[in-house]
Amino acid sequence: MGTLARAFNMMGEAVLFRQEELERQAAVIERMSVTDELTGLYNRRGFLILAAQHEHLALRGKNAFAIMFADLNGLKKINDSLGHDVGDRAIRKTAIALKACVRAADIVARLGGDEFVMPLHDATPTTVDLVKERIRRRLTEHEIPDDRVGALSVSIGTAFHTWEHQSSVAELLAEADRRMYAEKQLRGGQPLLALGDV
């Protein structure tokens, strides 16, 4: 009986261990499904899930939030001139800078390519202007000119969800994208990152 009981205990422990291992693997797969492999930021799916939570909280608490859409200028030129490895390093450096320029509770996501998005909770136009300035300043701090390519630059557009202006996440993203493109056309973006520093 003692041997049988020990065998059952060992079998039970093996089943428990296997269950815990499956749960760990499921958690890893879930994390991978919402994470951008290159930057470690949220990917498009992760952004949509979290932005929907922002929208829900804003509606429930009558709070405002903003969606900032950032698009890097000149990445194709870097990829074509110096290769995709250098382009990838530029994207990673930019991702780190964007993450450092928002609050811990805010998220940064890479939608794909050279497009990033940042939902900012309880945001005002003043908050957004401060974040924009912080981003541009942070990315120009270590500028080292490179005559082969020049500096990478960014264009940023913003859309606000307020109690008076209740747009869906998809509508806000489209509006922020339009405003980003208008800034790109008007100003051509601001210098952000020199290739020598990538």
Q: Domain boundaries in the chain?
A: 1-33, 44-197
Max Cα-Cα span within the chain:
83
At residue 56, the pLDDT reads 81
pLDDT in tens, 91-117: 988 898 899 999 888 889 999 999 999
Helix/strand/coil percentages in the chain, nearest 5: 55, 20, 25
Tell me how many degrees the CA angle 150-152-154 measures, rounded to the nearest 5.
Answer: 145
Third-level CATH fold of 44-197: Alpha-Beta Plaits (3.30.70)
Give the rounded distance of the alpha carbon of 64 from its chain centre. Answer: 20
At residue 27, the pLDDT reads 47
What is the token pair recorded at 89?
A: 């390093």
Mean of pLDDT values over 142-156: 59
Give pTM, 2 decimals. 0.76
What percent of the chain is modeled with pLDDT above 70? Answer: 71
Check pLDDT > 80 for residue 90. yes
Determine contact, residues 41/119, Cβ cutoff 8 Å. Answer: no
C-alpha to C-alpha distance for 1 and 14, rounded to whole angstroms: 20
